[in-house]
Amino acid sequence: MTVADVLDIASPLTAAQFAAAVAEHERRAATLALHLRRLEASGEWAFDGSVSIAAWMREHCRMSNRAAHAWVRRGRLLDTYGAFAAAAVSGALSQSQVDALEHLHRPKYAEHLAEHQSALVEIVEQLSAADTETVCKRWRDDADAVIDEAAPPAEPERFLTASRDSEGALLLHSKQHGGAATEIEKALRNASTYEGDDDTRSHGERGADALFDIAAFYNKNHADDGTPRNLPHVSISVDESTIRAGRPEGVDGDTEEPMASSCTDTYLCDCKIHTILRDAHGAPVGFGRSRYSVPRKLFSQVAARDGGCRFPGCDRKIRHCDAHHMRYWRHGGSTDYVNLVLLCSRHHHFVHQHHLQMKLDDHSNLSVVWRDGRQRTSRPRGAPPRRSRE
Ligand SMILES: [Zn+2]
Ligand SMILES: [Zn+2]
């Protein structure tokens, strides 16, 4: 197909027709921008793992970052100011004029702009894009003069979006300022571990591991019910028959997402078990008493021996650790001193994921054996840690 075919040279657009076609194109674009805003608010775009609506547009609409953000900003502006939306959809404002007005869409001006939106449309609707920009700049200067500088500043923009990609991995995207930024950096620094010469993790991997530990620590310690460790931090429904079959199928009680069986296994190792009796239709008919899968007294004894995570090289303290059943309790492993070792959250999940075998000798030295036969050992840290150092 040639250019001539596409354009149908026999009936070229007149200048007036061209202007009308552009106006029509921009009216439709304004409506689409409003749809985009609705789509953004619905969160539907996140289901393929995109971290933002702009990222989704880059992927699915083959847009540049700049083009995607321009669309998102237009949608947000038009959705906020009804007079601008009506004027854009009717063609009274061109897209370039909308983009000029977008520069006024700042938290600081929100109230003022809401009040003046109709008047602004009346002023600029007959103007060129360049003149509209001049008007907007003047409006801003006037607004700055009027807005009480003593008024408390609006809170800075911040966000955290979380979504799952096609493999179920969690993708996070966040913006933080000031104290929040400092606090988060500090927590990541504090939670970072270095596992000696064997530590081949990248900077990014260490950061991701630190964030995992921060989340696990919070979940274990967020409420004070009289014990330093509040279990469980995740509520899972597990079909008992699948435990017996060796591949426990757990469902996350909060999200109703199925969990990997190694993940379910990890949580079952050290949790508070609460029995819910259900009728044939799955409706709960009774609640049993909850109990710890590892009694707290036993946990303390194991903690006194291990002093923290027993994974070779790891220096995580007790507070971050779970008790792991070396021989899984679903394989008949007992919940006792010689079958339990402490592992930090990350290494606990790691051990279950990779089916590592662990064994304690008579001196409580631990050997960790990989499936390919590689082996590493760790020694108990011994004395119960002082509370202040923990
Ligand atoms: Zn375990
Ligand atoms: Zn560890």
* 153 band by pLDDT with thresholds 50, 70 and 90: low
340: CA distance to ligand 2 center in Å? 15
The yes-or-no verdict on residue 366 having pLDDT over 90 is yes
41: CA distance to ligand 2 center in Å? 40
- Between CA 255 and CA 173, with CA 40 as vertex, the angle to 5 degrees is 65
Closest listed residue to residue 244, CA positions, set 132, 329, 155 = 329
d(CA 38, CA 58): 18
- The percent of residues above 70 in pLDDT, for the chain, comes to 92
Average pLDDT, the chain: 84
180: CA distance to ligand 2 center in Å? 27
Token pair belonging to 230: 């509040």
* 227 band by pLDDT with thresholds 50, 70 and 90: very low
When pLDDT is averaged across residues 161-168 and rounded to a whole number, the result is 84
The yes-or-no verdict on residue 80 having pLDDT over 90 is yes
252: CA distance to ligand 1 center in Å? 18
Out of 1-5, 11-15, 143-147, which region has the weakest mean confidence (pLDDT)?
A: 1-5
265: CA distance to ligand 1 center in Å? 7
276: CA distance to ligand 1 center in Å? 23
Token pair belonging to 190: 């504090």
- The percent of residues above 90 in pLDDT, for the chain, comes to 34
When pLDDT is averaged across residues 196-224 and rounded to a whole number, the result is 81
> What is the pLDDT at residue 120?
95
The yes-or-no verdict on residue 260 having pLDDT over 90 is no
* 246 band by pLDDT with thresholds 50, 70 and 90: confident
272: CA distance to ligand 1 center in Å? 14
282: left (phi over 0), alpha (psi -120 to 50) or beta: left
Please return the burial class of 126, using the count of CB atoms within 10 Å of its CB with bins 0-12, 13-18 and 19+.
exposed
> What is the pLDDT at residue 84?
97
Q: CB-based contacts of 326: which residues, under 8 Å, 6+ apart? A: 333, 339, 340, 341, 357, 358, 359, 360
The beta strands (E) that lie in the chain are given as: 159-164, 170-175, 236-238, 250-252, 258-259, 272-273, 276-278, 284-287, 291-292, 321-325, 340-344, 357-360, 366-369, 375-378
When pLDDT is averaged across residues 55-63 and rounded to a whole number, the result is 90
235: CA distance to ligand 2 center in Å? 23
When pLDDT is averaged across residues 227-255 and rounded to a whole number, the result is 70
Q: How far, CA to CA in Å, does 327 sit from each of 145, 250, 302, 377?
A: 72, 20, 15, 17
In degrees rounded to 5, what are phi and psi of residue 77? -60, -50
> What is the pLDDT at residue 294?
86
When pLDDT is averaged across residues 309-318 and rounded to a whole number, the result is 86
Q: Which residue has the higher pLDDT, 138 or 288?
A: 138
Closest listed residue to residue 32, CA positions, set 106, 121, 95 = 95
Q: Where are the domains of the chain?
A: 15-146
> What is the pLDDT at residue 225?
47
Closest listed residue to residue 123, CA positions, set 83, 161, 90 = 83
pTM of the model: 0.49
Q: What is the DSSP letter of 41?
A: H
**Residue 129 near residue 94 (C-beta atoms within 8 A):** yes
286: CA distance to ligand 1 center in Å? 29
**Helix (H, G, I), strand (E, B), or coil: what is residue 262?**
helix
